[in-house]
């Protein structure tokens, strides 16, 4: 189930709720009991992206040979 982030318009509290996608826009109650909340746009980071487009995956390293088939360069 996805985790959504909300902000209460009444008390300005930011909180998270794990709920089905079908309920993502339904009113969410903050810990103070207010139902006047707005869903926030979540931001996440991508690990391993150097400089460039984060939306395109990095190419796999070329194999250098070796029995194991990895790029370690072993010749066993």
Residue 31 near residue 10 (C-beta atoms within 8 A): no
In a domain, 31, yes or no: yes
In a domain, 46, yes or no: no
User: Based on the structure, what is the number of domains in the chain?
Assistant: 1
In a domain, 59, yes or no: no
In a domain, 20, yes or no: yes
* pLDDT score, position 43: 72
- Which residue range(s) make up the domain with 21? 3-39
Can you list the residues of the chain whose pLDDT is less than 50?
none
The residue behind tokens 């931001």 is 43
In a domain, 7, yes or no: yes
- Cβ atoms within 10 Å, residue 6: 19
CA dist 37 and 13 (Å) reads 9
Whether pTM > 0.95 for this model: the answer is no
In a domain, 12, yes or no: yes
In a domain, 24, yes or no: yes
Residue 62 near residue 53 (C-beta atoms within 8 A): no
């Amino acid at each position: 189930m996805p985790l959504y982030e909300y902000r209460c318009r009444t008390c300005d509290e930011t909180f998270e709720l794990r709920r089905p996608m079908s309920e993502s826009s339904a009113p969410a109650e903050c810990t103070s009991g207010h139902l006047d909340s707005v869903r926030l746009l979540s931001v996440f980071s991508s690990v391993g992206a150097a400089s460039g487009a984060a939306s395109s995956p990095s190419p796999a390293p070329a194999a250098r040979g070796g029995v194991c088939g990895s790029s370690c360069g072993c010749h066993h």
